[in-house]
Amino acid sequence: MTGSTLLRRIAPQLLTLAAVIVLVSIYYPAFYQIVYVNDRLVGIPIDVIKRGAPVALLAIGMTLVIATRGIDLSVGAVMAICGASAAWSIDQGYGIGAALGIAGAAGLVCGLWNGVLVAFFGIQPIVATLILMVAGRGVAQLITGGTILTFDSDTFAFLGSGTMIGVPVPTVIWILTGIGFGLLVRRTALGLLVESIGVNLRASTLAGINSRVLLIAVYMGSGFCAALAGVIATADIRGADANNAGLWLELDAILAVVIGGNSLLGGRFSILASLLGAMIIQTINTGILLAGFPSEFNLVIKAVLVIVILVLQSPRFMPYLELLASRFKRSSVTRLEAGE
Amino acid sequence: MNIRALPLYATIAIFLLAYLICYMQFPAMLSTRVIGNLLTDNAYLGIVAVGMTVVIISGGIDLSVGSVIAFSGVFIAVLLRETGMHPLAAFALLLAITTLFGAAMGGMIHLLAMPPFIVTLAGMFLARGAGYMLTIDSVPIDHAFYETMQRAYYLMPGKGRLTLLGVTMLASVILGMILLHRTKFGTNVYAIGGGEATARLMGVAVGRTTVLIYAFSGFMAGLAGIVFSVYTSAGYPLATVGVELNAIAAVVIGGTLLTGGSGYMFGTLIGVLTMGLIQTYIVFDGTLSSWWTKIVIGALLLMFILLQKGLLRLRISH
């Protein structure tokens, strides 16, 4: 993608993000302030890009899954499983490397399970991943033994609350993961192949794409992103909570992808736009708190904003907008010609 | 033999088999008391699953129902606390609201051509948020009429209680069966689930039917909310989180295809009872941890989906 087409693709998301930020700063003028204290950047925007890390990470994997015309409902439960495995490993006295390895492996295995169900058994993705969504939290509770598994490891906690050159580590992780996945799919043909599977699985297979392997790889990618998100969530609170880690985050991640302008029917995708979607959601979440509304209003405000954004982006509504825009343009042109 | 009904037969067979295993281990399981409790405890889930079945057969999904149940409980509790309204009037008002809410979601799905998943997801946030706005506390319901409803039961032989709640669920299932299998609306639902474009070409009023489908689901969620409020005697905005998932799981275990176009209302009842049975077994056993419920339900889901997949291949090869 050249610079201008990329900009055109993400323009709606950038505009929405800007609008949301302006809206928040009306209620909370100190929104933009960032200061540097104790070797770390402090400020609301920094808080947004830190707290948005889990949804941003999930949105990266979810974008690819949705591009194949799939959906991954299990990511929240996978976060709980991976967080629990990491906490369990540290609790057992393994090093941080082993703990991360085990968490990552758990995420990949979960993704493999989903991928095999979708690619080999031909099960609809929403159903295939529903199984792990329901059973996954049970598995996570099995690992933690039904309690909140706490641990004492400053190196591990660094992943959730530490900083690198002033920037929170979770932020560094999601940005690097985004760049990594972006390079992987856009500097190779993989992205194109993923899109072609999403447009027409059968035709892609007939054209010689090994769609089964690619599908499984995509779900494993999603599982890996969920593992990273799970590790961050666990490190942040220094404990694995099988019941609440990543609870309903799959819905926020799907929302981020949809707000990012990616079609749930698969095909063309943009990871960058999904990440912007994740930041829009987090700005809304943080903004509602900052604006000082009673917390009872949070969900309603979020729902209304989401509905507005979705209606504006919906395929039926867009043509009206364009029609309106072209009429406006034409009328201004005629006015110009009339010498007004 | 009707190959389309095979998943239904399989569901019934597995339920009976599971009950037999439970019975052999705990003979007390086969008492009318346990059966009565099974119906009462799962009444709200069964009612909401009836609406979900219709939605899923039409190829859609309704994620908002759990939040709508919580909202209903809070709405009724707050209304009864603040005004001297009779519960029946509150019920009527509530059902009107939830039905309209469902219809609005159906309208958005049709008019804006947006996926049901996303629209009902926004509906889920909205209904839960509306509940929070009414109150963030658990509001007890203290009304003579509620006590009458809770005490209303028919004593079955063996001292089991067939409660009003259990009867409401069974009546909802029968209503759903008539609606789905015996009316034009039901046929339209199957047609849309089979393929929207085809249905439109056959002359099905797709828009109107879509609105009605989600309105029906909203109505059932409201009814389930009423039943849940009678069951718990309270309204709490944090209640019934994730019930939509249980309802979807019950529908799938009941042999309905999540792709739409195929399934039976009766299967959903068996699906709900199967899930209730697992919980009853865990209570009877006493040593198993509650998370095994989730794992077993996940395993059951997998089994049924693979079974349906196999049957589908069988049907195609015939």
Task: Please give the ipTM for the structure prediction.
Answer: 0.82
- Condensed to tens digits (0 to 9), the pLDDT of residues B249-276 reads 999 889 888 888 889 999 999 999 999 9
Q: Report pLDDT for A332.
A: 62
Q: Which residue has the higher pLDDT, B291 or A167?
A: A167
Mean pLDDT of the A130-156 span: 89
- Condensed to tens digits (0 to 9), the pLDDT of residues A284-317 reads 989 888 888 777 787 888 888 888 877 877 767 7
The CA distance from A338 to the nearest CA of chain B, in Å, is 38
Residue B287, chain A, CB below 8 Å: the answer is no
Residue B171, chain A, CB below 8 Å: the answer is no
Q: Report pLDDT for A299.
A: 82
Do A138 and B293 lie within an 8 Å CB cutoff?
yes
**Chain B residue closest in CA terms to A140:** B291
Residue B118, chain A, CB below 8 Å: the answer is yes
Q: Report pLDDT for A337.
A: 57
Residue B20, chain A, CB below 8 Å: the answer is no
**Chain B residue closest in CA terms to A133:** B298
The CA distance from B18 to the nearest CA of chain A, in Å, is 19
Q: Answer whether residue A212 shows pLDDT above 60.
A: yes
Reported confidence tier of residue A340, pLDDT bands at 50, 70, 90: very low
Q: Report pLDDT for B105.
A: 96
Mean pLDDT of the B124-149 span: 91
Domain ranges of chain A: 10-292, 294-340
Do B130 and A315 lie within an 8 Å CB cutoff?
no
Cβ-Cβ contacts under 8 Å, A136 against chain B: 298
Q: Report pLDDT for A204.
A: 94
Mean pLDDT of the A179-201 span: 95
The CA distance from A162 to the nearest CA of chain B, in Å, is 32
For chain B, give the percent of residues with pLDDT over 90: 62
Do B113 and A299 lie within an 8 Å CB cutoff?
no
For chain A, give the percent of residues with pLDDT over 90: 54
> Which of A300, A302, A320, A321 to substitute to test the interface with B, most B CBs within 10 Å?
A300
**Chain A residue closest in CA terms to B114:** A314
**Minimum-distance CB partner of B113 among A71, A131, A315:** A315
Cβ-Cβ contacts under 8 Å, A264 against chain B: 115, 117-118
Do A127 and B306 lie within an 8 Å CB cutoff?
no
Domain ranges of chain B: 3-317
Do A141 and B291 lie within an 8 Å CB cutoff?
yes
**Minimum-distance CB partner of B118 among A297, A299, A310:** A310
Q: Report pLDDT for A147.
A: 87
**Chain B residue closest in CA terms to A136:** B295
CB of A59 closer than 8 Å to CB of A270: no
**Minimum-distance CB partner of B114 among A136, A299, A314:** A314
Q: Answer whether residue B286 shows pLDDT above 50.
A: yes
Residue A212 tokens, joined: 């089964």
Q: Across all residues in chain B, what is the average pLDDT? A: 91
Mean pLDDT of the A73-101 span: 93
- Condensed to tens digits (0 to 9), the pLDDT of residues B212-230 reads 999 999 999 999 999 999 9
CATH of domain A10-292: 1.10.3470
The CA distance from B184 to the nearest CA of chain A, in Å, is 28
- Condensed to tens digits (0 to 9), the pLDDT of residues B156-208 reads 888 888 999 999 999 999 999 999 999 999 999 999 999 999 999 999 999 99
Q: Which helix (H) or strand (E) holds A164?
A: strand A163-164
Cβ-Cβ contacts under 8 Å, A298 against chain B: 129, 132
Lowest average pLDDT, out of A36-45, A297-306, A315-324, B87-96, goes to: A315-324
CATH of domain B3-317: 1.10.3470
Do A128 and B258 lie within an 8 Å CB cutoff?
no
Q: Report pLDDT for A309.
A: 79
Residue B252, chain A, CB below 8 Å: the answer is yes
The CA distance from A167 to the nearest CA of chain B, in Å, is 32
Do B258 and A127 lie within an 8 Å CB cutoff?
yes
The CA distance from B61 to the nearest CA of chain A, in Å, is 11
Interface A:B, Cβ pairs < 8 A: 122
